[in-house]
Structure 1
Amino acid sequence: MIAQAQAVLLVVCPALLIVAALKDVTTYTIPNWISLALIAAFFPTALVLGLGPHALGLHATIGFGALIAGMTMFALGWIGGGDAKVFAATALWLGWPASATFLLVTALAGGVLAVTLLAMRSILLRRYVSAGPAWLSRLAEPGENVPYGLAICIGGLAAFPGSTLVRALATAALL
């Protein structure tokens, strides 16, 4: 029963990442409640999974470092404010060494996303894409932003199985 409750708590992060990606792709915004929910759900999940003070401190440090990096990228105009916040909240969940995978996969997914959007925004493809739903047509508009929340989601989902929290659940299941 306890392992099931722990597993349910672990679903919060991937579920909220998917919601953030969908919101960003369709509206170019990531609501603050998603980042706040990620942060609020992390601490009870970590405690239920038995993370000690040292591990919690490491997670918080990684999350804070990601917040500084996200704020810097936002200040440079590379990503939006919602992207910066969800980036930091995701890093908080992942810990070390999964945050390294998160950074790498997010960067690669961001590159693929940018190239895909450039192709969609080309004269050759734009007319075909504009026949789709309004949100897809907006993605194909030249000069529009990049919904980087999608890349953050892909990076977070790719790194999540290697996170400290998932490893803690696997260890508890073996006992």
Structure 2
Amino acid sequence: MTISAIAALTASLCFAAAIVWAGLMDLATLKIRNELVLFLVGIYAALAPLAGLGAVQIGMSAAVALSVLVGMFIFFALGWIGGGDAKLSAVVALWLGAEHALPYIVYTALFGGLLTLALLQFRAISLPDSVRRVPWIAQLHSRNSGVPYGAAIASAALFTFPHTPWVKVLS
């Protein structure tokens, strides 16, 4: 295995694990930790050059990620998403690259819409007492609770990631 393949494999495993963790934690707590976002930025910075991503490609990805961050913070300011969702969206855009940003955004919107519809249906049903006592389920069931959009972001990220240069290096 070449150095670029080892770096791409390591990066891919770190990305996938962190994204799954972010989605699950957002479902359970409605929070996405800054440490997780910083971990993803750090792993990207360390491994992207080793995996064969060039300076132009990294620069374009960073520019797109910054654009996504600005757009998502507008959504945050409007109260549509949380701050963690905004930061996670941007770091995912960094990883996926400029050429995959638009499909990722479209998939995020689609998965977010499906998640919202599912939550509305879930919140409309009555839960048994034993289930209502589970804190994270009770929080998800509450009509006053937000939508764990990090789960939609994570789903879109994992759906798009196999098409990126990170995975193509491995084939």
Name the CA shift for 1:102/1:128 in 2 (closer, same or farther; >3 Å): farther
TM-score of the superposed pair, with normalisation by structure 2: 0.91
Q: Tell me, in whole angstroms, the C-alpha distance in 1 between the residues paired with 2:17 and 2:24.
A: 11
Q: Tell me, in whole angstroms, the C-alpha distance in 2 between the residues paired with 1:15 and 1:38.
A: 10
1:96 Cα deviation after fit: 2.7
Letter in structure 2 aligned against 1:151: A
Q: Tell me, in whole angstroms, the C-alpha distance in 2 between the residues paired with 1:100 and 1:36.
A: 23
Are 2:68 and 1:34 equivalent residues in the alignment? no
Q: Alignment length, in residue pairs?
A: 168
**Per the alignment, in what secondary structure is the counterpart of residue 155 of structure 1?**
helix
Given that 1:98 and 1:163 are in contact with CA atoms closer than 8 Å, whether structure 2 keeps it comes out as yes
Given that 1:126 and 1:140 are in contact with CA atoms closer than 8 Å, whether structure 2 keeps it comes out as no
Q: Tell me, in whole angstroms, the C-alpha distance in 1 between the residues paired with 2:129 and 2:106.
A: 29
Q: State the partner residue of 2:59.
A: 57
Equivalent pairs: percent with the same residue? Answer: 36
1:9 Cα deviation after fit: 2.1
Letter in structure 1 aligned against 2:21: V
Letter in structure 1 aligned against 2:17: A
TM-score of the superposed pair, with normalisation by structure 1: 0.89
Q: State the partner residue of 1:67.
A: 69
Q: Tell me, in whole angstroms, the C-alpha distance in 1 between the residues paired with 2:40 and 2:91.
A: 6
Q: Tell me, in whole angstroms, the C-alpha distance in 2 between the residues paired with 1:14 and 1:155.
A: 12
Q: State the partner residue of 1:163.
A: 164
Given that 2:7 and 2:51 are in contact with CA atoms closer than 8 Å, whether structure 1 keeps it comes out as no
1:139 Cα deviation after fit: 0.5
1:5 Cα deviation after fit: 4.3
Letter in structure 2 aligned against 1:162: H
Q: Which of 158-167 and 53-62 deviates more? A: 158-167
Q: Tell me, in whole angstroms, the C-alpha distance in 2 between the residues paired with 1:112 and 1:129.
A: 27
Letter in structure 1 aligned against 2:127: R
Q: Tell me, in whole angstroms, the C-alpha distance in 2 between the residues paired with 1:130 and 1:86.
A: 33
Structure 1 portions without partners, runs of 5+: none
* Matched ranges for 1:57-96 at <5 A: 57-96=59-98
Letter in structure 2 aligned against 1:4: I
Structure 2 portions without partners, runs of 5+: none
1:71 Cα deviation after fit: 0.6
1:24 Cα deviation after fit: 0.7
